[in-house]
Amino acid sequence: MQLQLDRYAYLETPLHRWDPRCKLVGMMVLIFAFSYVRDLRLLPVILVVSGAMYVYSGLPLSFLLSRLRLPALFLLAVAVILPFASGQTVLFQIGPLAVKEEGCLDLLRIAVKFFSILTLGIILFGTMPFLTAVKAMRGLGLPYILADMTLFAYRYLFEIGDDLKAMQTAMRLRGFRNKKLSGFSTLASLAGTILVRSFEQSDRVFKAMILRGYGQPASFKDEFQARTIDVVALLLLLSAAAVVVTTELLLY
């Protein structure tokens, strides 16, 4: 099991080189500004901005498309419900079902915001290694317990995932077929075994970490140094977010 998120994190583009703390703050503010948009006239603007930033990030289109597969199912569910359930103005009939104008506009609003925010999120975490992102959050004041837990969980997530795969293969080789509810208690034992193995491993990990000095004050160092260009880029993004919010307030 491999993490695909860091696949393009080492490209050489201005977005990749941007100070991670500035990038986190700037992109998150822009994401929240986009989520504030309700006026339909602003939808093309946020779509173009997120699209342009994606192109600028140098990330391939296939990377974006591959990450949109799962969320697209959610959008499909919304598309099936909203046009029929929301509003009173009937646009046209499909058999006994009436497609309503307000529902279609709600769907458009949700779809564009969803896609734009998702794209910005992919740019944010796709243009720096995940570990750098967590260190940047720590640099911005994330409590050490949360930062340590995130780093440890990340370190062991795919190892435990591989353990699960190995156990499932062993179960299949012994004749277990995961097709009926009768195998429920076996699956509960499988989940329990994963927890027990992780629990036992954590004791060993903790002892090994203590030997290596874990818990000493210098275990986290602020390794980031923001340049003038990083701060300018941050201010640019904050200004863009402010423009989006102000325009929304004036229009809606």
Partner 1 sequence: MHIPDGILPTAVCLGGYATAGAATWYSLRKINQSENPREGIPRASLLTAAFLVASWVHIPVPPASVHLLLNGLLGAVLGFYAFPAILIGLFFQAVMFQHGGLTTLGINATIIGVSAILAHLVFQIRKLFGPDNRTATGIFGFLAGASGIALAAVAVFALLVTTIPANIDVEAERTAIGILTIAHIPLMLLEGVFTALVVLFLIRVKPELLEGK
The verdict on 246 binding partner 1 (CB under 8 A) reads: no
The CA distance from 196 to 193, in Å, is 5
Rounded Cα distance, 50 and 142, in Å: 27
Region of 11-19, 50-58, 113-121, 227-235 interacting with partner 1 (CB under 8 A): 113-121
User: x/- site string to partner 1, residues 83 to 102, per CB under 8 A?
Assistant: --xxxx-----------x-x
Binding mask 5-44 for partner 1 (x = CB under 8 A): x----------------------x--xx--xx--------
Residue ranges in 120-149 that form contacts with partner 1 under rule CB under 8 A: 121-122, 124-125, 130, 143, 145-146, 148-149
65 near partner 1 (CB under 8 A): no
Range 211-230, binding partner 1 (CB under 8 A): 214-215
Minimum distance, C-beta of residue 139 to partner 1, in the bound complex (Å): 17
Indicate the residue among 234 and 241 with the shorter CB distance to partner 1: 241
Number of residues located near partner 1, criterion CB under 8 A: 80
Binding residue for partner 1, selected from 55, 61, 70, 94, defined by CB under 8 A: 70
Distance of alpha carbon 81 from alpha carbon 251, whole angstroms: 28
Residue type, 225: Q
Of these, 205, 226, 238, 240, which contacts partner 1 (CB under 8 A)?
205
Q: Is residue 87 classed as helix, strand or coil in its secondary structure?
A: coil
Which has the closest alpha carbon to 102: 86, 120, 81? 86
Task: Tell which residue, 27, 44, 14, 26, has the closest CA to residue 117.
Answer: 27
Per the DSSP assignment, residues forming a β-bridge with 93 are 98
**Who's near 237: CB < 8 A, 6+ residues apart?**
26, 27, 29, 30
